[in-house]
Homo-oligomer: A and B are copies of this chain.
């Protein structure tokens, strides 16, 4: 995937791989890419199917670290095997995103990803929680990157400020309604 387009600095080599079983998962998984881009973390995006391209999938996982990848984010739905199978062939942390399908609200995806056997963990986030998967990758990278950690601290402050603003907006909206 030499020319894999990321939406960040094209000259930087990707250090996070965002992979998914089908391009239809992109509507969910794009939020992971967006979070990485917000933190200027270079990433690549790949469609890799555990069930339709099993060998290419394993090959991706096996050479990911030597290619410079540090964290893999994998999204899949239903009998979701992609995150767990990647975790079985790499020493890298794999973040799993349960993609909800049209039935069962993603409960099957969640259980297929989180209930991994001893020895092969997958760092599972919420159903459809691709944005959190991106943020978790940033947190992992920040364990050895103080600059990135500082960005995370600023991000947390910003989250808190947004709550304040929402509180003010709600109060204004209630007051406006009451004064009518």
Contact A93 B47 (CB under 8 A): no
Q: A85-B81, A104-B105, A124-B123 are in contact. Are A92 and B143 (CB under 8 A)?
A: yes
Residues of B within 8 A of A74 (CB): none
- CB–CB B100/A100 < 8 A: no
Bound complex: CA A54 to CA B55 (Å): 10
Asked if A149 CB lies within 8 Å of chain B CBs, one says yes
Chain B residue with Cβ nearest A153: B91
A63 at the interface (CB under 8 A from B): no
Q: Once the chains bind, are B115 and A78 in contact (CB under 8 Å)?
A: yes
A61 to chain B, nearest CB (A): 9
**In the complex, per-residue mask of A1-28: 1 if CB is within 8 Å of any chain B CB, else 0:** 0011101000000000000011100100
B110 touches A107 (CB 8 A): no
Q: A113, B54: Cβ atoms under 8 Å?
A: no
Q: Mark A82-121, 1 if CB is under 8 A from B, else 0.
A: 0011011101110100001001111110111111111111
**What is the interface of chain A, defined by CB distance below 8 A to chain B?**
3-5, 7, 21-23, 26, 45-56, 58, 65, 70-71, 77-81, 84-85, 87-89, 91-93, 95, 100, 103-108, 110-129, 131-133, 135-136, 139-144, 149, 152-153, 155-156, 159-160, 162-164, 166-167, 169-171, 174-175, 177-178
5 contacts between A and B (CB under 8 A): A45-B170, A47-B170, A48-B163, A92-B143, A104-B107
